[in-house]
Amino acid sequence: MDKPFAITLDVRSSLANHTGTWRSERPVYVDGLPPCNHACPAGEQVQAWLYAAEDGSYETAWRRLVNDNPFPAVMGRVCYHPCETACNRAELDSAVGINSVERFLGDEAIARGWRLPEPSAPTGRRVLVVGAGPAGLSAAYQLRLRGHEVEIHEAGSQPGGMMRFGIPTFRLPRDVLDAEISRLLELGITLRLDTPVTDLVRTMTAGRFDAAFLAVGAQLSRRAYIPAGQAARILDALEVLGQAAAGERPQLGRTVIVYGGGNTAMDTARTARRLGAEEAIVVYRRTQAQMPADATELREALEEGVQIRWLRTISAVGGGTLRLEKMSLDDDGRPQPTGEFEELTGDCVILALGQDVDRALLDTVPGAEVVDGVLQVDATMMTARPGVFAGGDVVPSTRSVTVGIGHGKAAAVNIDRWLTANPRPDPALATSSVPSPVRVGPPAPDPRRPVPFGRLNTWYYSDAPHRTRPRLEAARRTADFGEVVGGLEADTALYEARRCLSCGNCFGCDNCVGVCPDNAVHTVDDARGYAIDLDYCKGCGLCAEECPCGAIEMEPEPT
Ligand SMILES: Cc1cc2nc3c(=O)[nH]c(=O)nc-3n(C[C@H](O)[C@H](O)[C@H](O)COP(=O)(O)OP(=O)(O)OC[C@H]3O[C@@H](n4cnc5c(N)ncnc54)[C@H](O)[C@@H]3O)c2cc1C
Ligand code: SF4
Ligand code: SF4
Ligand code: SF4
């Protein structure tokens, strides 16, 4: 955007305008909370890293981003980007392509070999992380940055959790995942693979751990009771996805039926098409509007020829034939059986009905509370057992990679505070009584409310239609597991970053300097860059009115 034409005299040159006592309001510069930051479950400072990317300072942008999230290349591929749903620019034309710029920065970092920040000085405290999925890896990263020794115990043979064993490679190529995980481990995090934790207290005692973070996810596939004949082939979605992710080609047959309506169902049906199924049919008991699958995933599945039978349940499976019951919605929107049936032929049925948490390990945590199948934590993400924290799919929340990463970071911050409040007892001063652990309250919440669209002065922003990412033609997608969605080029990433309206945060346009009729606003050599000389300001509010991004607010004059 061109800077607006600055009008008047030299700063503070109109001495006759020295303010008396008649001002009732004064302008103040604020750092507003951009809606994108507020909506990002990983707590990214989106506006701040977009601001750096706007002039091509990509490494600075990436460094700001990885303060909160060490997986930008993964996020730029799998995050459902609630930040874009919240973006104010959507009210002007369309949301800033935050997710695509994030992917660009992530890919750029891998290509250029940028390293993560160095950890702080060693604290001598040891933290056990159970599970190397997104939540565990994020917590390990944040704890390591704070100088703690971190050991991850992972049951599987490779790290990544559902990022590796669930999300198909055509959405998340494994070289990208490997690059971001190994860069994180290089910070000095110990990863023990093929090491399931079966008794938490015993593992903590044996390893002299001061605290633990449980990030074991939800690994048990839900089953449905379906009467099935001898010849019926009923498979589990996670098993099929895991095999495909490992490069195997399970033989599913010509027609594959997938039962479920979430993202796992979409991924499974799309995977089945790539494994050679001529037909992949999803059976879902509700309507499209009620489907939990992400809209983009559904659209891509339909483009790839996946068919959906809405308002149907599977009531029986025989050899090659399924009996479906039609459903109808009751007044509360719940599906109810109609007693009407139809038949469908299929070579196998793959159940994609969601996952449950395995309680085996949780039951070894003294006092741990499990409600509705998930582990309860307080506002600091600590379980009822002092020093044992948890996050990701194992606790009550939306299940996504981004939420897991946010939980990992929040838990790490709280573990760090908890360790500070609970120093390891000095053995020389040992007494017979062990002090009770000190609990720490949650950090103070951000009191700011997201900057609404109405706070912006959009007259100053130029038209800039959104640039979309390239996508592989639908007809070519099912031939193999090649990545479907491409990345932005450097020039389109720059363009997309510049579409950001910088909601609530000054972007240095000089407008306030130019529009002040009393020349009270001037540039200064500090981080803010602008100051208002209250000896000259009359409180007219023009600067606040004309600031494009709502970075100036009028406050009542102090009495
Ligand atoms: C098919 C599929 C597709 C998905 N697609 C997306 C998507 O596109 N975007 C998105 O945001 N989310 C997606 N999700 C959801 C997302 O993957 C999960 O919400 C997220 O991975 C949860 O992270 P987590 O770290 O809590 O658990 P997980 O990723 O499940 O990781 C838990 C780890 O703990 C290990 N573990 C378990 N028990 C033990 C034990 N006793 N000892 C040691 N280790 C143990 C497991 O082996 C695993 O590695 C998808 C999920 C699935 C199943
Ligand atoms: S992690 Fe997701 S929600 Fe957060 S900024 Fe990136 S795309 Fe948006
Ligand atoms: S315009 Fe920029 S600062 Fe505002 S919500 Fe969108 S991305 Fe965030
Ligand atoms: S008018 Fe421009 S320079 Fe002044 S506060 Fe707003 S964005 Fe910053």
Q: Annotate 174-234 with three-state secondary structure.
A: HHHHHHHHHHHHCCCCEEECCCCCCCHHHHHHHCCCCEEEECCCCCEECCCCCCECCCCCE
**CA pair distance 509, 547, nearest whole angstrom:** 9
**CA pair distance 53, 61, nearest whole angstrom:** 5
Q: Examine the pLDDT at 29 and tell me if it is beyond 60.
A: yes
Ligand closest to 51 (CA) is 3
**Percent of the chain having pLDDT more than 70?**
95
User: Which helix H or strand E contains 435, and what residues bound it?
Assistant: none
Residue-wise pLDDT for 423-454, tens only, equals: 987 777 666 566 788 989 988 988 999 999 99
Non-local CB neighbours of 482 within 8 Å, separated by 6+ positions: 170, 472
Mutate to test the pocket of ligand 1, among 401, 407, 483 (most ligand atoms within 8 A of CB): 401
CA of 310: how far to CAs of 89, 288, 347, 473, in Å? 34, 7, 20, 26
Nearest to 455 by CA among 546, 369, 374: 546
Ligand closest to 236 (CA) is 1
Residue-wise pLDDT for 527-549, tens only, equals: 889 999 999 999 999 999 999 99
CA of 284: how far to CAs of 168, 292, 293, 330, 373, in Å? 21, 11, 11, 16, 23
Amino acid letter for position 40 = C
**CA pair distance 302, 289, nearest whole angstrom:** 15
Instruction: Please answer whether residues 552 and 502 qualify as being in contact, where contact means their C-beta atoms are separated by less than 8 angstroms.
Output: no
Q: Does any ligand 2 atom lie closer than 6 A to the CB of residue 46?
A: yes
DSSP 342-362: EEEE-SEEEE---EE--HHHH
Give helix 98-112 / helix 58-66 axis angle, nearest 10°: 100
**CA pair distance 60, 49, nearest whole angstrom:** 8
Q: Does any ligand 2 atom lie closer than 6 A to the CB of residue 40?
A: yes
Nearest to 14 by CA among 486, 500, 535: 535
**CA pair distance 167, 67, nearest whole angstrom:** 25
Rg (CA), the chain: 27
Q: Does any ligand 2 atom lie closer than 6 A to the CB of residue 402?
A: yes
User: Which helix H or strand E contains 339, and what residues bound it?
Assistant: strand 335-345
**CA pair distance 291, 385, nearest whole angstrom:** 37
CA quadruple 157, 162, 165, 167: dihedral, nearest 10: -150
Q: Residue 71 — very low, low, confident or very high, per pLDDT cuts 50/70/90?
A: very high
Q: Does any ligand 2 atom lie closer than 6 A to the CB of residue 66?
A: no
pLDDT (0 to 100) of residue 559? 78
Give the up-direction half-sphere exposure of residue 555: CA atoms within 13 A in the CB hemisphere: 10
Instruction: Please answer whether residues 68 and 41 qualify as being in contact, where contact means their C-beta atoms are separated by less than 8 angstroms.
Output: no
Q: Does any ligand 3 atom lie closer than 6 A to the CB of residue 46?
A: yes
Non-local CB neighbours of 21 within 8 Å, separated by 6+ positions: none
3-class SS of residue 366: coil
Ligand 1 binding pocket, CB closer than 6 Å: 78-80, 130-136, 153-156, 161-163, 166-167, 196-197, 215-217, 219, 241, 263-264, 267, 361, 392-393, 399-402, 404
Question: How large is the average pLDDT for residues 67-90?
Answer: 98
Q: Examine the pLDDT at 411 and tell me if it is beyond 90.
A: yes
pLDDT (0 to 100) of residue 558? 87
Most confident of 225-234, 440-449, 502-511: 502-511
Q: Does any ligand 3 atom lie closer than 6 A to the CB of residue 47?
A: yes
Q: Does any ligand 3 atom lie closer than 6 A to the CB of residue 35?
A: yes
**Percent of the chain having pLDDT more than 90?**
86
Output the CA 83–ligand 2 centroid distance in Å.
6
Non-local CB neighbours of 81 within 8 Å, separated by 6+ positions: 98, 99
Ligand 4 binding pocket, CB closer than 6 Å: 506-512, 530, 547-549, 551-552
CA of 462: how far to CAs of 47, 267, 346, 458, in Å? 18, 39, 54, 8
**CA pair distance 410, 215, nearest whole angstrom:** 13
Output the CA 206–ligand 3 centroid distance in Å.
48
Place of tokens 């959906």: 308
Mutate to test the pocket of ligand 1, among 167, 193, 394 (most ligand atoms within 8 A of CB): 167
Q: Examine the pLDDT at 505 and tell me if it is beyond 90.
A: yes
Mutate to test the pocket of ligand 4, among 1, 511, 513 (most ligand atoms within 8 A of CB): 511
Output the CA 465–ligand 3 centroid distance in Å.
15
Output the CA 122–ligand 2 centroid distance in Å.
31
pLDDT (0 to 100) of residue 3? 35
The protein residue with its alpha carbon nearest to ligand 1, atom 5, reads 167
Backbone angles phi, psi at 60, to 5 degrees: -60, -45
pLDDT (0 to 100) of residue 17? 60
Output the CA 507–ligand 4 centroid distance in Å.
6
Question: How large is the average pLDDT for residues 294-316?
Answer: 96
pLDDT (0 to 100) of residue 515? 96
Q: Which residues pair with 127 in a beta bridge?
A: 150, 211
Can you state the percent helix, strand and coil of the chain, rounding each to 5?
A: 35, 15, 50
3-class SS of residue 283: strand
Provide the terminal-to-terminal Cα distance of the chain, rounded to the nearest Å: 40
Q: Examine the pLDDT at 7 and tell me if it is beyond 50.
A: no
Output the CA 102–ligand 2 centroid distance in Å.
8
Q: For the chain, what is the total number of helices (H) and then of strands (E)?
A: 19, 21
Average pLDDT, the chain: 93
The protein residue with its alpha carbon nearest to ligand 1, atom 20, reads 401
Q: Examine the pLDDT at 13 and tell me if it is beyond 60.
A: no
Output the CA 547–ligand 4 centroid distance in Å.
5
DSSP annotation of 137: H
Instruction: Please answer whether residues 163 and 174 qualify as being in contact, where contact means their C-beta atoms are separated by less than 8 angstroms.
Output: no
Q: Examine the pLDDT at 224 and tell me if it is beyond 90.
A: no
Greater pLDDT, 2 or 61 = 61
CA 86 from chain centre, in angstroms, equals 14
Greater pLDDT, 463 or 328 = 328
Q: Examine the pLDDT at 230 and tell me if it is beyond 90.
A: no
The protein residue with its alpha carbon nearest to ligand 1, atom 30, reads 217
Instruction: Please answer whether residues 42 and 406 qualify as being in contact, where contact means their C-beta atoms are separated by less than 8 angstroms.
Output: yes
Q: Does any ligand 3 atom lie closer than 6 A to the CB of residue 500?
A: yes
Residue-wise pLDDT for 323-370, tens only, equals: 999 999 999 999 999 999 999 999 999 999 999 999 999 999 999 999
pLDDT (0 to 100) of residue 10? 52
Q: Examine the pLDDT at 21 and tell me if it is beyond 70.
A: no
Q: Residue 316 — very low, low, confident or very high, per pLDDT cuts 50/70/90?
A: very high
Instruction: State which ligand 1 atom lies nearest to the alpha carbon of 219.
Output: 30
Output the CA 367–ligand 3 centroid distance in Å.
43
pLDDT (0 to 100) of residue 1? 43
Q: Residue 19 — very low, low, confident or very high, per pLDDT cuts 50/70/90?
A: low
Q: Residue 489 — very low, low, confident or very high, per pLDDT cuts 50/70/90?
A: very high
Ligand closest to 33 (CA) is 3
Length of the chain: 559
